Amino acid sequence: MGDQQRFVRPEAIETLELDWGTIKWLSTPETTGAETFSAGVVVLEPGKGHERHTHPDSEEVLYVLSGGGVQTIADEEREVTAGEMLYIPAGVEHSTMNTSWEPLRFLAIYGPPGPEAELRHLAECTVVPPEEQ
């Protein structure tokens, strides 16, 4: 890899595997040198999702690429499908659940970066290097 990449190939990026799906952080301070945001592709398997949580110091944008599910932001819950964008202010509780029969894929962006680094240290997270994928 190396710092300051401008063109990032997903197959050259490690994969984070969790019990609910996978994440590839395609832009982080370490991979692209981006200082104000991080971005990655998240895949939630059918019937899976993650519990309500917050990112106290980062805003989050989700853009649904394919599939469908239920997104909760604060006290509002809505069905979401491909083509929709969601904004989650810093410190606001949220969760995502795949309610469809196919994987739910979305682009996740944090500003500033930071929450993506926390995920890799969770006990249930397995980091798969590119050469092992």
Tell me the pLDDT tens digit for each residue of 98-109.
999 999 999 999
Q: According to the model, what pLDDT value does residue 117 have?
A: 85
pLDDT the model gives residue 3 = 53
**Domains of the chain, start order:** 20-106 (2.60.120.10)
Average pLDDT, the chain: 93
110/12 Cα distance (integer angstroms)? 21
Tens of pLDDT, residue by residue over 56-115, are 999 999 999 999 999 999 999 999 999 999 999 999 999 999 999 999 999 999 999 988
- The mean pLDDT of 30-35, rounded to a whole number, is 92
